[in-house]
Amino acid sequence: MAIAFAFYFMSTDKRYYLVSIKWNYEIERDYRSLDKYAWFLYINGNKEKALEIEQEALETVIANPNKEWQEFIESHLEKIEDENWVSYR
């Protein structure tokens, strides 16, 4: 029960990191998870780390080409830089 409470009160970026990033053995190619992690970092006030992770997502999508996701990630990168990322989609 204590673990459940600890997980519940954890910030969304830390929770997402534990569930989707830390144990993801394909993270080098998983630009979707990196992009979503950047969103959680951003909404929790960690803009510098969000920018770093979003840049990593962009490099990953360029290495594993997907034009639609590349444009999506580029738009998120701009929104982080402009401090104007108000919704994930």
Instruction: Please give the DSSP secondary-structure letter assigned to residue 25.
Output: T
Provide DSSP, 32-88. HHHHHHHHHHHHTT-HHHHHHHHHHHHHHHHHS--HHHHHHHHHHHHHHHTT-----
Model pTM score: 0.83
Tens-digit pLDDT profile for residues 61-83? 999 999 999 999 999 999 999 99
Tens-digit pLDDT profile for residues 3-46? 777 777 878 888 888 888 888 888 889 999 999 999 999 999 99
Q: Are residues 35 and 5 in contact, defined by beta-carbon separation less than 8 angstroms?
A: no
